[in-house]
Every structure is written in structure tokens, then in C-alpha cells.
């Protein structure tokens, strides 16, 4: 399904995932140290330049990925407008935009497989306390497979609801049947896994 | 053991799927998504440890760049945003809800489930959530608490739904409450 990696090829796609994540961690830590509102314009401009260097199409995708931040930016504007502390408001807004935009950039230019490989390395020490990487990978694959299946089931239940009810949109009424069918799925999957010799470690 | 893992993955998928159900807007104008209902139910149904693992699996997959959060959000950017505390708090919330469920065996399922969802999904969840908002938006804890307050009525509603759903599931499929097994 459904990954946030951008299909538009960019130079950043070719940088190893571990390097990008390391750079992101350093950049985020540095941005949090910036003391003045004027300096905060720098990381915002850098982030914008990085996106634009990958083309307008990609930059527009990046802008769309920032949409969930608008309510918080509006809150900051309102808050600092009332307290007449615009400088601090601009700094916090800039910090939020820059850190989230840079993090999104890594997500948008890194394929899922590469992220999973980094995760496997980072989680390797957990082996010592009994975690089994193979089982984590299996669980991730299962969630990837089950989520769209569950959405499709929800859609079907919604259609069934609509066929019988006067109200157009189904709501909480379909949640119980959704859970019940999901529980039945779990039984089927458990049987299927057992038949194939269990989940590998 | 394999069945445990399958149930954990199943509830992680449910948390993700519930995020994509269009959110309901309360009278107060605050949108509530069904996603944290999934977190509450993970704890209530699966118990503390497995519930926390289900929530943790979603958090891990969000970090890997999958759009599993309400409105198709995801990626590392979420961890730099103001709601990071709520996201990480899901793990503690599901654990707490499961813990309450495991220790209230004498209560009827709907009451224990509602209580567990309330304590885990609101009391425990809001602590990291408010700390996260306070840090990212640079506001005092009291101010950040004020920002979170409008969401509490919706979450109380979700606790009750979680309790009622847990009771209905328990009735329909005996033995589904791994938290009480």
C-alpha cells in the first residue's frame, strides 16, 4: 500500500537512509538551539531550498505534507498576537516548520525497505532481551496486509448500512461488526500460519 | 505465542484503519478521530503487554514512513510535531488500560472497560501529550493543558464506547478478552 515515499526521483533518494537520519537528528538538535527569531529564518529557507531543488512538483508534495501543522501555526499566531510577542511566535512557528519539513524530506526520499533495514540494525540489541527481529518483520508485514483489508471491510459494511438505513453515512454502528469480522480473520490467519509451520524467529 | 503476535498485528491494523474513518465533529467544533479508540481497545482487549506492543507497532511503522495516522499522516515529521507526546503516549495508554482491565476482574466488562479506557486513554495519555505540546510550542504545562482540554469530552465519549464495545465483543466471542484470560 500506501507509503509516504515520493515517486518523483530526487538526488536525496540516492543518499543512504542511515546518513539521512543522522543528518536529520543533528539538524533538529541544532535548530532547537537557535536563540533568535531572525536566525530561525535560516533553517526555514534551507528546508524550502532543499525541497525546491527537487522541482516544483516535489515541493508541492512537501507543502501538502505540512498541512497537519496549520492548526498549530494558527494557534501560535493567535496566542502571540494576543500577547503582542510576535518575535517569539515567529521563532516557534519557524522552528516547527523547519524541523517537521526536514523530517518529512527524509521520509519522502527514503524507500520503506531502506528504513526497515535501518530499523533492523537499531533494534538488533533488543535480541539480547529476547526480542525476535523475524517476528517484528512478520508483524509489520501482517499490518501492511491487514490495514487495507480492514478498510475494504469497513467500506463494505458502510455500503450494507447505507442500503438498509435512511441515514446516508454510517458511523459507530459499523465498528462492532468490523471488530467481530477482524477477530474471525485472526482465527483464520492463526490456522494458516500454523499450517505453514509457524512464524519464523 | 503465534496467536498473540497475530492479535497484536490485528489491533495495530485496527488502530490504523480507525484513523481513516472520517472524524466526527462535536458540538464544540472539535473534531475527534476514532484512532485513540483503537488504542484504548488494544489495552482493554489484549491486556497491558500485548496492548502496548500493538500501539508500539503502529508508532514504529509511522516512524518508518507509513501513513497510518488519522488523515493519512505519518513519517518522521510527526515526531517533530506538537502531537508527538500523544503518539508516543499511546504505548503507555494501552499498557495502562490493559493493566486496569487485568486488575478489575470483579467489575462487569463494560464498567471495567470504560474505567480502563478512561484511565489509560485520557489520564495516562494526556501526561506525555501535554508535555510534548508544551515543549514543541514552548508554552507552560498549564497553557498546554488548556490546548488539550477541548478534546476531553470526545475522549470521554470514546472511553464509554470502548467499554460498551468490549462488553459486546465479550458477549459475541467468549474468550476474546485476553486481558482477563
pLDDT at B30: 58
pLDDT digits (tens, 9 = 90+) for A77-105: 889 988 888 888 999 999 999 999 999 99
Distance from the B106 Cα atom to the nearest Cα atom in chain A, whole angstroms: 24
Question: What is the DSSP secondary structure assignment for residue B115, as one 8-state letter?
Answer: H
Please state the ipTM of this predicted complex: 0.90
* H-run or E-run covering B32: strand B31-32
Give the nearest chain B residue to A98 (CA atoms): B80
CA distances from B40 to A160, B9, B115 (A): 27, 15, 10
Residue A2 has pLDDT above 70, yes or no: no
Instruction: Tell me the pLDDT band of A17, cut-offs 50, 70 and 90.
Output: very high
Instruction: Tell me the pLDDT band of B70, cut-offs 50, 70 and 90.
Output: confident
pLDDT at A95: 93
Reading the block at residue B143, the C-alpha cell is 497553557
Whether A116 contacts chain B with CB within 8 A: yes
Residue A199 has pLDDT above 90, yes or no: no
Residue B7 has pLDDT above 80, yes or no: yes
Cβ-nearest to B5 among A100, A138, A194: A138
Reading the block at residue A110, the C-alpha cell is 527514503
pLDDT digits (tens, 9 = 90+) for A104-129: 999 999 998 899 889 888 888 888 88
Residue B27 has pLDDT above 60, yes or no: no
pLDDT at B51: 97
Residue B181 has pLDDT above 90, yes or no: no
For residue B13, the domain's CATH number is 1.10.1760.20
Answer yes or no: are the C-beta atoms of B87 and B79 closer than 8 Å: yes
Instruction: Tell me the pLDDT band of B72, cut-offs 50, 70 and 90.
Output: confident
Residue A66 has pLDDT above 80, yes or no: yes
Identify any residues that bridge with B24 across adjacent strands, giving them in sequence order. B32
Give the nearest chain B residue to A64 (CA atoms): B73
Which residues in B lie closer than 8 A to residue A191 (C-beta atoms)? Answer: none
Residue A184 has pLDDT above 80, yes or no: yes
pLDDT digits (tens, 9 = 90+) for A38-52: 999 999 999 999 999
pLDDT at B25: 61
pLDDT at B31: 62
Q: Could A65 and B7 be called an inter-chain contact, meaning their C-beta atoms sit closer than 8 Å?
A: no
Residue A71 has pLDDT above 90, yes or no: no
Query: Other C-beta atoms within 10 Å of B62: how many?
Result: 24
pLDDT at A102: 95
pLDDT digits (tens, 9 = 90+) for B34-61: 899 999 999 999 999 999 999 999 999 9
- How confident is the prediction for chain A on average, in pLDDT? 89
Cβ-nearest to B67 among A4, A171, A185: A4
Domain of residue B146, residue span: 2-178
Q: Could B13 and A143 be called an inter-chain contact, meaning their C-beta atoms sit closer than 8 Å?
A: yes
Instruction: Tell me the pLDDT band of B26, cut-offs 50, 70 and 90.
Output: low
3-state secondary structure A100-134: HHHHHHHHHCCCHHHHHHHHHHHHHHHHHHCCCHH
Three-state DSSP class for residue B161? helix
Chain B window 60-79: which residues touch A at a Cβ cutoff of 8 Å?
Answer: 60-61, 63-68, 71, 73-79
Q: How many domains does chain B have?
A: 1
Residue A25 has pLDDT above 90, yes or no: yes
Which residues in A lie closer than 8 A to residue B24 (C-beta atoms)? Answer: 171
- How confident is the prediction for chain B on average, in pLDDT? 91
Which residues in B lie closer than 8 A to residue A25 (C-beta atoms)? Answer: none
Amino acid at each position: 500500500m500506501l507509503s509516504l515515499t515520493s515517486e518523483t526521483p530526487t538526488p536525496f533518494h540516492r543518499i543512504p537512509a542511515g546518513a539521512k537520519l543522522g543528518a536529520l537528528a543533528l539538524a533538529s538538535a541544532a535548530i532547537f538551539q537557535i536563540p533568535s527569531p531572525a536566525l530561525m529564518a535560516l533553517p526555514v529557507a534551507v528546508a524550502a531550498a532543499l525541497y525546491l531543488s527537487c522541482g516544483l512538483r516535489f515541493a508541492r508534495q512537501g507543502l501538502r505534507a505540512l498541512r497537519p501543522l496549520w492548526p498549530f501555526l494558527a494557534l501560535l499566531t493567535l496566542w502571540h498576537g494576543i500577547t503582542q510577542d510576535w518575535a517569539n511566535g515567529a521563532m516557534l512557528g519557524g522552528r516547527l516548520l523547519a524541523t517537521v519539513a526536514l523530517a518529512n524530506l527524509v521520509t519522502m526520499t527514503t524507500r520503506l525497505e531502506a528504513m526497515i533495514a535501518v530499523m533492523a540494525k537499531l533494534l538488533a540489541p533488543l535480541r539480547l532481551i529476547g526480542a525476535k527481529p523475524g517476528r517484528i518483520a512478520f508483524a509489520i508485514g501482517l499490518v501492511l496486509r491487514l490495514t487495507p483489508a480492514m478498510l475494504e471491510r469497513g467500506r463494505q459494511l458502510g455500503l450494507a448500512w447505507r442500503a438498509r438505513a435512511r441515514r446516508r453515512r454510517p458511523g459507530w454502528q459499523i465498528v462492532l461488526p468490523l471488530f467481530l469480522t477482524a477477530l474471525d480473520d485472526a482465527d483464520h490467519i492463526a490456522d494458516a500460519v500454523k499450517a505453514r509451520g509457524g512464524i519464523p524467529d | 505465542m503465534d496467536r498473540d503476535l497475530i492479535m497484536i498485528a490485528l489491533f495495530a491494523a485496527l488502530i490504523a484503519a480507525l484513523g481513516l474513518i472520517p472524524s466526527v465533529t462535536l458540538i464544540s467544533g472539535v473534531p475527534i478521530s476514532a484512532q485513540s479508540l483503537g488504542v484504548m481497545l488494544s489495552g482493554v482487549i489484549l491486556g497491558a503487554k500485548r496492548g502496548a506492543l500493538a500501539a508500539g507497532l503502529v508508532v514504529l511503522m509511522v516512524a518508518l514512513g507509513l501513513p497510518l495516522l488519522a488523515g493519512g499522516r505519518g513519517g518522521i515529521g510527526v515526531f517533530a510535531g506538537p502531537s508527538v507526546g500523544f503518539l508516543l503516549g499511546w504505548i503507555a495508554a494501552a499498557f495502562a488500560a490493559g493493566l486496569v482491565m487485568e486488575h478489575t476482574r470483579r467489575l462487569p466488562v463494560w464498567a471495567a472497560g470504560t474505567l480502563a479506557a478512561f484511565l489509560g486513554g485520557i489520564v495516562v495519555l494526556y501526561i506525555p501529550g501535554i508535555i510534548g505540546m508544551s515543549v514543541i510550542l514552548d508554552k507552560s504545562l498549564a497553557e498546554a493543558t488548556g490546548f488539550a482540554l477541548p478534546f476531553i469530552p470526545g475522549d470521554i465519549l470514546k472511553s464509554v464506547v470502548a467499554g460498551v464495545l468490549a462488553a459486546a465483543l465479550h458477549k459475541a466471542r467468549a474468550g476474546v478478552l485476553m486481558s482477563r484470560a
